[in-house]
Amino acid sequence: MTHHDNHSAAEAGTFKIGGDLSVNRIGYGAMRLTGSGVWGDPDDRDGAKKVLHKALEMGVNFIDTADAYGPETNENLIREALYPYPSDVLVATKGGHVRDGDKNWLTDGRPEHIKESCEASMKRLGVEQIELYQLHRPDPDVPYEESIGALAELKSEGKVRHVGISNVDVEQLEAARKIVQISSVQNRYNITERDADDLVDACERSGIAFLPYFPLATGDLAKPGGQLDEVAEKHGASAGQVALAWLLHRSPVIIPIPGTSSVDHLAENVAAASISLGMNEMRTLNAA
């Protein structure tokens, strides 16, 4: 890969989450720093800590985690690796998704659960305030407004600085915004899965950060001779790098959060910040 040496996440520019938390536009999703099935500690804990250190060295200053990753082990690892956090580093976490003993993912959006989860995350991360706290997933058994109300209370108590939501649609975003300022939305979105297009546009109109997870998925688009492959070849880049560059060009509010447990792959992701796609290339990729 030509796009590999000494690149910094800062090359993609910055975005101010909530109007005041300035982050470089390639973040890091820490979910991968767990055992298989997002359960327990990673096999190589020291290696995982190295990846976190390296991310900061490369200018990544937005790290996304959740209490359900591990569960709890991911937040503990981040604290162990990075505490005390540099003042320009934003560690965002989430609550409302829980795991049972069989490793299943369940939802718990009850206000009392969200408040307890937030306080437990504060302790694990070692902070007096979580700068960005996100509802991980709406709970079908709890009125959405009640879950969001709990986030609003956490914010008014100063335990949370900015509120985010995740795995939502435009209607849920609008409902949440009537209750509390929403500073970020995190949904699955990438060059091959664009169901959230209208959500991205809604976020852009309102200056809300959009955090696409699984940002590297390229599916069939990456096959030899395909549009993505051709653009990648022209830039001496990988299909994944072009997929990240596409996200950065798609909207100025997008902050991709690719996750990896490898330092080399991290460097490759960060290098995508320096790929400049022309209008014709964006047109080609948009039509792909």
| Residues contacting residue 101 through CB under 8 Å, at least 6 positions apart | none
The radius of gyration computed from the CA coordinates of the chain, to the nearest angstrom, equals 18
CA distance 236 to 241: 10
What does each C-alpha distance from 165 to 43, 155, 174 come to in angstroms?
30, 14, 11
Tell how strand 182-188 and strand 160-166 pair up: parallel
CA distance 259 to 51: 10
Catalytic residue among 28, 69, 85, 144: 69
SS (H, E, C) 47-73: HHHHHHHHHHHCCCCEEECCCCCECCH
Tokens of 134: 């996100």
The yes-or-no answer on residue 69 being catalytic is yes
Catalytic residues: 69
